[in-house]
Amino acid sequence: MVLSAHTHEVTLGAIIVSPTNVYGATAGEPLSATDLDVVNAGGAIVVEAGEDLYLGRLDLELNDKRIKSANWTAIPVDESVAEDPATALLVEAAVEPFVAGKDGKVERHSFLPGGIAQELLRTVVM
């Protein structure tokens, strides 16, 4: 299984990859028995939630090291999705050093490697 994000694309239906074929599964439907046979025979499920517009959810049911069922959903992020206050506070604290936030100061001018990750770790650990 490949959970992708860097291509900035959205796969509304999972992409099924075998050694000889690549095809799209039916969007909004669980993977078919044929799709699961391909994956369980050494293929792959590739999904992409895009950038900022969707949140991806991949539900898998496993049994004896095999995927028994799989369902990929690209959930649109719009005003119908309620903001989680606790998460909003974590994001605000992590981003604040990079923008002129409440204190008006900018401590960093870029998201250097590990920069935002280090801020998130500090926020979560403390």
Q: Quick check: 78 pLDDT over 60?
A: yes
At 2 the pLDDT is 84
113 confidence band (pLDDT: 50, 70, 90):
low
Q: Crossing angle, helix 115-125 and helix 85-95, to 10 degrees? A: 130
DSSP 54-112: EEEEEEEEEETTEEEEEEEEEEE-STTSPPPHHHHHHHHHHHGGGS--TT-----SS--
